[in-house]
Amino acid sequence: AQSVTQLDSQVPVFEEAPVELRCNYSSSVSVYLFWYVQYPNQGLQLLLKYLSGSTLVKGINGFEAEFNKSQTSFHLRKPSVHISDTAEYFCAVSVHNDYKLSFGAGTTVTVRA
């Protein structure tokens, strides 16, 4: 079975500063990786996904993530955050022919002016 560990439960960051959210996964087979964002009192919105190919994946709202197979990581980055990026971020994994998502515990990002 696959699993996801998000290494930081809370990340405070100042506006216009960069942010990195760390995600490590565990699986015995090839994986598909996703980052979702949950704004306060809302559902989950897909930020980006890695299916195959280029290890650097660009998503919406200026986010990007890099798949590192040797380190089993899929860290999310944004070079300059805005107040509106305040949200909870979830890393998730699925595998071929078992499409359910296994989620990490989430990282709460709080952007301060």
d(CA 94, CA 101): 5
Q: Which of 36, 63, 67, 74 binds other proteins (CB under 8 A)?
A: 36
Residue 108 Cβ vs other proteins, minimum distance, rounded to whole Å: 13
Q: Does 24 bind other proteins (CB under 8 A)?
A: no
Q: Does 32 bind other proteins (CB under 8 A)?
A: yes
Cβ atoms of residues 65 and 76 within 8 Å: yes
x/- site string to other proteins, residues 85 to 104, per CB under 8 A?
-----x---x-x-xxxxxxx
d(CA 86, CA 32): 26
